[in-house]
Amino acid sequence: MKQYHNLCGSILKNGYATGDRTGTGTIAMPGYSYQCKLNMDEEGVIHDFPLLTTKFVSLKSIFEELIWKLRGDTNIKFLIEHNNHIWTEWPFKKWLEDTGQIRNIQMWKDAEKSDYADEWKAEKKSFEEKILTDSEFCQQWGGLGRTYGHQFRHFGEITASELTPEVQSFLNKGGLLDPEYVVKKGEDQLMDAVSLILNNPENRRIIISLWNPSDVKKTLLPPCPCFYQFFANQNGYLHLNMYQRSCDSFLGVPYNTAQDSLLLVLMAHVTGLKPGIFNHFFGDAHIYRNHIKQVKEQLVRVPKELPSLKINKQTTNILDFEFSDLELIGYNPEKGIKGAVSI
């Protein structure tokens, strides 16, 4: 995908060195964008699907994380059950911190942060096994807080635990409310967007915002892709703009571009439209220092022809899709390039 290669090349050429939350350091650039055009033929095959070819990117992992978000889930159990470990590092680190274990475990293999230490990996594997087998442990430690799934389906929700003691007392006449009691129902932005596309296609407010300032501190990592605007005002087509505030350009961006292009495909499918243009807007576009070698390796590889995608299932509910409903055609990527995620 040439657009992605141009992004990485531009960061290396024009970016500047920064510190960051993780302590790893980055080469960063403030703002960028690229466009992906999805071309559906008369047989329903979508050509030029933006799945990176200069290293392997798993469509299965992309789909599983997407459907996990759209179904409103914020616990990593579903992902681990599907052999998807993309979010484990954050709750695992919090568990180590909150239980005082982190000071006794070496996190990185070396000073360059090229990979996690063996003892870190072994303990993380044990953590995931507990998530799968111990329901109480899973409930306490498997959640990411009010991140993607919550904001897609319950934006602005208020529970009793967020009320002041005085308000709780007033509402319950001196008693205590169940902390999980929903005082104010949140907005189901996903289903609202589907409804607007179907019933008011010229609307310029078909927007899903995942950035809720009130919830930023209530999640282990606030959403990176955080603002979506759908356009249904071209007859027969659906387009999507997505703004990503923070962009891990080696590990995250290839997944983000493909995943939100897939979101466009699925939303178009359930509303009877053809997917059109996906515009990916970047805020802080960066390459972590421990990924520079991998990015340079990738940039010498020549992009191949993009694959095609076909949706096999006839459905009107976006939540009903399974991975078996996707058919990836002609994907012939180069081998994967490993890099450690910074948390």
26-73 tens-digit pLDDT: 999 999 999 999 999 999 999 999 999 999 999 999 999 999 999 999
Task: Please report the pLDDT score of residue 171 as a whole number.
Answer: 75
Task: Please report the pLDDT score of residue 222 as a whole number.
Answer: 96
The Cβ of residue 238 has, within 10 Å, a number of other Cβ atoms equal to 25
DSSP, res 268: H
36 is catalytic: no
* pLDDT above 90 (res 163): no
Position 327: which residue type? E
pLDDT digits (tens, 9 = 90+) for 69-114: 999 999 999 999 999 999 999 999 999 999 999 999 999 999 889 9
Task: Please report the pLDDT score of residue 178 as a whole number.
Answer: 78
Catalytically annotated residue among 8, 36, 138, 224: 224
- Provide the pLDDT confidence category of residue 170 given band limits of 50, 70 and 90: confident
* pLDDT above 90 (res 160): no
Task: Please report the pLDDT score of residue 175 as a whole number.
Answer: 66
DSSP, res 22: T
Q: Burial-class residue 213 by CB neighbours within 10 Å (0-12, 13-18, 19+).
A: exposed
Whole-number average pLDDT of the chain: 95
If you compute the radius of gyration of the chain from its CA atoms, what whole number of angstroms results? Answer: 21
What region, left, alpha or beta, does residue 207 occupy, with left being phi > 0 and alpha being psi -120 to 50 degrees? beta
- Provide the pLDDT confidence category of residue 118 given band limits of 50, 70 and 90: very high
Cβ 326 vs Cβ 51: under 8 Å: no
Q: Which parts of the chain fold into alpha helices (H)?
A: 2-14, 59-70, 77-81, 89-98, 118-133, 135-141, 148-154, 165-171, 189-199, 253-270, 292-299
pLDDT digits (tens, 9 = 90+) for 134-152: 999 999 999 999 999 999 9
Task: Please report the pLDDT score of residue 316 as a whole number.
Answer: 87
% pLDDT > 90, the chain: 90
Structural domains in the chain? 2-74+144-329 (3.30.572.10)
Q: Whole-prediction pTM value?
A: 0.95
pLDDT digits (tens, 9 = 90+) for 175-212: 667 778 888 899 999 999 999 999 999 999 999 999 99
The Cβ of residue 3 has, within 10 Å, a number of other Cβ atoms equal to 15
* pLDDT above 90 (res 174): no
d(CA 139, CA 322): 25
